[in-house]
Amino acid sequence: MSLPETELSSIPMTRQLADQALGFGTPDVPDDVREIGRHCLLDWFSVGLAAWDSPPMQALRAWIALEPSPGPCNLLGSPQRVSASQAALVNGTAGHMLDFDDAHLPSRVHPSAPLWPAILALAQARRLSGAEALAAFAAGVQVQSRLGVVMGNSHYREGWHNTATLGTFGATAAAARLLGMNEEALCRAFGFAATLTGGLRSVFGSPAKPLHAGRAAANGLMAAGLVDQGMQTFDDLLERPRGFVQVYARDFDPSRIQPEAGSWEARRIVFKYHASCYGTQAPIEAALALRDRVARAGCRRVDVHVEPQYMSVCNIARPTSVSEAKFSIAHMVALALAGRDTSNEENLSGSALVDPDVVAWRDRVHVHGDAEVPRANARVTLDDGKDRVTHTHDASQPQADLKQQRRRLLDKSSALLRPRYGERAVARMQERLLDIAQQPSLTDWLHDTVLELDR
């Protein structure tokens, strides 16, 4: 729904969101939420390192080098020290470059990519603890997720990239919490966040998409930092007439800003185990379940039914690059049916794009938008002309067993990083990242974590 300006301005969404970010103490974060935060850190750090030497990351680091800004913060894949805002920009971009990072489906935000880079930069610069960092992560997830619920589907449908737009608010909340700001100050920081943010879905399939995450992280630091240094703006930019909510969403529901009592949005985070857009995850899993049922030579067609929104998000029929392949249901399903490892970035590029076996499968794939298929679900049917076999997969629900989730994420991290850094170095890195809650200061911890990888 949408409201008249006068009624919208009477709902103090900005203040309510600030209260959600600051209204709990560090010890109040439940154990499972802290554990999920550690999982997110491990996953984001690993996929960021895996992307470190990609051509777009080389270009971004070269651009940063044009304006040297020595500071207290580390880049993920280098012992080089830079400013907090540069670290947030580069590390945030790296963490989303492979499009292999975590997701919060109700808000359509990749939560870690804009949050952990801002949190670690500020925590490293100000010698803050790991426990404080985990609490800031929980606060950032809460803010960007609840704002996403308010904005509804129209925000994304109109062409905005939620990780960029809403992620800026999450990073602002996390930074404000680490800076010790009060509610009034955070409301004004949200005002800066509202006018700094942006990011268009029309760049999906190009490196401009991951750049959104880096910019969101850096924008969050800037928004909170400006207020911390005494700069002021309006404190009601969410509900203000022609403010963020009214301008960025055609249909919105301010009544949904408040969560249910005791709920933590971090519990709704899901992870990817295939190196592509989340809209491709369920189709891949369904295809894998059918792979041994019908041989390619006998298969006439493959029908993939997904929620209609994915038809405009990840339905590139004939990808010509790695970035496009990540947004191609047909290509990712073809890779799965051809027996290629869809968690390996190399299988999305170069020869894989024109591999005769993959192309032959891809030519048989027909993707359909189906209003009866729930979000992050897929129904895949293989037809050999005589028989049809079908499998449905639901990728929308978080893993209930956190121990199993940790094991899967450790395996994913090792598969991504072991070829470059070696098994022992990766194991040490994983142990340090998962031990973040015990660290009294993240300043030397992060620097040592980066250095140990190259020993």
One-character DSSP codes across 297-349: GG--EEEEEE-GGGGGTSB-SS--SHHHHTTBHHHHHHHHHTT--TT-GGGGS
Distance CA 48, CA 344 (A): 14
Residue 455 has pLDDT above 70, yes or no: no
CA 389 → CA 123, 278, 280, 286, 380, distances in Å?
52, 24, 20, 11, 8
Q: How far is CA 81 from the centre of its chain?
A: 25
Specify the pLDDT at position 298: 78
Specify the pLDDT at position 398: 94
In CATH, what number does 5-271+436-447 get?
Answer: 1.10.4100.10
Distance CA 266, CA 279 (A): 20
Delimiting residues of CATH 1.10.4100.10 domain(s) in the chain: 5-271+436-447
Model confidence band, residue 94 (pLDDT cutoffs 50, 70, 90): very high
Specify the pLDDT at position 452: 81
Distance CA 103, CA 101 (A): 7
Residue 6 has pLDDT above 60, yes or no: no
Residue with tokens 């960021």: 48
* Coil, helix or strand at residue 447: helix
Beta bridge partner(s), residue 394: 377
Is the CATH number 3.30.1330.120 carried by domain 278-394? yes
CB distance 219 to 196 below 8 Å = yes
Q: Is 160 left (phi over 0), alpha (psi -120 to 50) or beta?
A: beta
Model confidence band, residue 3 (pLDDT cutoffs 50, 70, 90): low
% pLDDT > 90, the chain: 82
Delimiting residues of CATH 3.30.1330.120 domain(s) in the chain: 278-394
68-93 average pLDDT score: 93
Specify the pLDDT at position 346: 79
% pLDDT > 70, the chain: 98
Model confidence band, residue 286 (pLDDT cutoffs 50, 70, 90): very high
Specify the pLDDT at position 189: 98
- Tokens read off for 91: 């590390």
DSSP secondary structure string for all residues of 21-56:
HHSS-GGGS-HHHHHHHHHHHHHHHHHHHHTTTSHH
Give the model confidence (pLDDT) of 20-60 as tens digits. Answer: 999 999 999 999 999 999 999 999 999 999 999 999 999 99
Give the model confidence (pLDDT) of 200-247 as tens digits. Answer: 999 998 999 999 999 999 999 999 999 999 999 999 999 999 999 999
Model confidence band, residue 193 (pLDDT cutoffs 50, 70, 90): very high
Mean pLDDT of the chain: 93
The larger pLDDT score, comparing residue 174 to residue 252, is at 174
Specify the pLDDT at position 345: 78
User: Which range among 143-147, 318-322, 330-334 shows the weakest confidence by mean pLDDT?
Assistant: 318-322
